[in-house]
Amino acid sequence: MKYLITVIITIVACIALMITIQVNPNTQMTETIEDKVIVSNEAVEAVIIDPYALDHIKFELVEYSQLPEGNVYTVQLKNESKHTIVQNNVYLYYPIITGENSRTTNKCKVEMTGNKLNIAPGESVLLTAFYPKDNFVDQIAIASGDPELEIQGYLNELSIYHHFGKMGAIFDDPKGLINPDDK
Task: Provide the pLDDT for residue 92.
Answer: 93
How much is the pTM?
0.68
Determine contact, residues 161/47, Cβ cutoff 8 Å.
Answer: yes
Residues 88, 155 within the same domain: yes
pLDDT at residue 155 in the model:
92
Q: What's the domain range around 81?
A: 53-182
How many domains are contained in the chain?
A: 2
The pLDDT of residue 40 is 45
Domain-terminating residue out of 34, 49, 64: 49
Q: Give yes or no: residues 121 and 173 share one domain.
A: yes
* 26 and 63 fall within a common domain: no
Query: How many CB atoms are located within 10 Å of the residue 72 CB?
Result: 14
Contact between 6 and 12 under an 8 Å Cβ cutoff? The reply is: no
CATH classification of the domain holding 133: 2.60.40.10
Same domain, 19 and 58: no
Q: What is the pLDDT of residue 143?
A: 81
Handedness of CA 62, 49, 111, 109 (dihedral sign): negative
Same domain? 10 vs 79 = no
| 44 and 112 assigned to the same domain | no
Ranges assigned E (strand) in 40-146 = 46-49, 57-67, 70-79, 85-93, 96-99, 102-104, 110-111, 118-119, 124-132
Beta bridge partners of 38: 47
List of the chain residues with pLDDT < 50? 7, 12-14, 16-45, 182-183
